[in-house]
Copies of this chain bind each other. A is one copy, B any other.
Amino acid sequence: MKKVLVSGGCGFLGSHLIDRLLLRDDVELILVVDNLWTGRTRNLAHINDPRLDLAECSIESYASKTRFDEIIHLASPASPPWYMREPVRVIQANVHGALNLLGHLAPQGRVSYTSTSEVYGDPLVSPQPESYRGSVDCTGPRSSYDESKRCTEALLFESQRVSGLDIRVARLFNVYGPRTRIDDGRAISNFIGQALTTGALTVYGDGRQSRSWGYVDDIVEGLARFFWRDSIRYRGPLNIGNDREIPVIDIARHIQKLVPGTTLKFMPPAPQDPTNRRPDLTIARAVLPGWKAEIPYEEGVRRTLEWFRAELARGLEPLKAPEPLFELGARRKARTGTHG
């Protein structure tokens, strides 16, 4: 029987992964370590299972004598306005968090990590294979997230090389779905939250920037197969996503059709917003035979919209829009213009 630690298990993605973990019959303990920065205990409130425990704590300062057979390191905000506001904490959660977690692993234990398509930055190659080295500005306004994910990948792959650490590293592409915070700030939840409250959908730039939107059930299915199937010998990095690439503006217009009477509000582009993003799934198809992201955005958006509607009906707090992205970039732009 296994002990599993999940950092960030109260978050959007984490809570769905916990649901899947509880279906396993070889697990005796699932300890969620979460500081509730972006995570929420209500994401796990539907669970009544004595194997689940919660330590409310930042992962970089978590301490215990328990050693875990599996550690799944999810702790990190994943939305630009959140990680741009507190970049130091983002690096602490990812890199320092991973360093700390290595000390809590049982012998022969496995560390699984959710990295991101952001390691590719604003890619010059499409679709992006795992071997693509990316185009990331390591001094830019997205760098706390992009570079701490890259550095944590380095930590894990290098630990694998020098000491044989058992690792799994997945790179996720734009996951969305129920349990996203209404103030998360990424496109789909933003559009839906706005459609159901203010009625004005904010589009940054011209909306032609494209993403590959992965509905959470599909992504968690991929993670479950990759993270806990012992027969898999490939450790990553593994792209997990939906390779149907759709411009942001198409999502906005689709949601406009679903919620009549909504309008589009165009804002300046977010700083260093990637122009495109699409996974090359060649390795995923080989490593996870039978898996694919099957739910089209039309269906995923419908389910997400329903969930948000129900949440708002239950009396969730009113929409708190996140700080506009473009303001976050202003100071930085002024600085880089000064040479000498």
A85 contacts B by Cβ under 8 Å: yes
Taken residue by residue from 48 to 92, chain A's Cβ proximity to chain B (1 for < 8 Å, 0 otherwise) reads as 000000000000000000000000000000000000111110011
Given the interface pairs A133-B121, A151-B151, A287-B340, the reply to whether A160 lies near B88 with Cβ below 8 Å is no
Interface residue A27 (Cβ < 8 Å from any Cβ of B): no
Q: List 30 A-B contacts (CB under 8 A).
A: A85-B162, A87-B158, A87-B159, A87-B162, A88-B162, A91-B151, A96-B96, A133-B134, A133-B136, A134-B138, A138-B151, A138-B153, A139-B153, A140-B157, A141-B158, A141-B161, A143-B153, A144-B158, A147-B153, A148-B151, A148-B154, A150-B150, A151-B151, A161-B335, A232-B340, A233-B338, A233-B340, A234-B339, A234-B340, A287-B340
Q: Does A119 contact B (CB under 8 A)?
A: yes
**A96 CB contacts on chain B under 8 angstroms:** 95-96, 99
A-side interface residues toward B, CB under 8 Å?
A: 84-88, 91-92, 95-96, 99, 102, 119, 121, 133-141, 143-144, 146-148, 150-151, 153-155, 157-162, 169, 232-237, 283, 286-287, 289, 328, 331-332, 335, 338-340
Q: Cβ of A287: which chain B residues have Cβ within 8 Å of it?
A: 339-340
Of all A-B residue pairs in the complex, the 9 with the closest CB atoms, nearest first, are A87-B158, A143-B154, A151-B151, A147-B154, A138-B150, A139-B157, A286-B340, A147-B151, A287-B340
Which single residue of chain B is at the shortest CB-CB distance from A145? B154
Residue from the set A84, A146, A150 with the largest chain B CB neighbour count within 10 Å: A150
A192 and B280 alpha carbons, distance in the complex (Å)? 47
- Alpha-carbon distance A244/B141, docked complex (angstroms): 33
In the complex the two chains form, is A162's CB within 8 Å of B338's CB? no
Bound-complex Cα distance A338 to B235 (A): 9
Known interface pairs A133-B135, A139-B237, A162-B85; A154-B339 also in contact (CB < 8 Å): no
With a CB–CB cut-off of 8 A, which chain B residues contact A151? 91, 95, 138, 147-148, 150-151
Q: Are A88 and B158 in contact (CB under 8 A)?
A: yes
Given contacts A286-B339, A335-B235, contact A87 B154 (CB under 8 A): yes
**A335 — which chain B residues lie within 8 A by C-beta?**
160-161, 235
* Chain B residues within an 8 Å CB radius of A87: 154-155, 158-159, 161-162
A335 CB, nearest partner CB in chain B, Å: 7
A250 to chain B, nearest CB (A): 28
New A-B contacts (11) at CB < 8 Å, excluding given A96-B96, A96-B99, A119-B138: A88-B155, A91-B154, A91-B155, A95-B95, A139-B153, A141-B158, A141-B161, A147-B147, A147-B153, A150-B151, A233-B338
A111 to chain B, nearest CB (A): 12
Q: Can you name the residue of chain B whose Cβ is closest to the Cβ of A137? A: B133
A154 and B121 alpha carbons, distance in the complex (Å): 14
Task: Give the chain B neighbours of A147 by CB distance below 8 A.
Answer: 147, 150-151, 153-154
Taking the closest CB of chain B, its distance from the CB of A311, in whole angstroms, is 31
Bound-state CA distance A265–B283 (Å) is 39
A146 to B235, CA, bound (A): 21
Bound CA–CA A197/B121 (angstroms):
47
In Å, the complex CA distance between A332 and B99 comes to 21
Q: In the complex, how many angstroms separate the beta carbon of A103 from the nearest chain B beta carbon?
A: 10
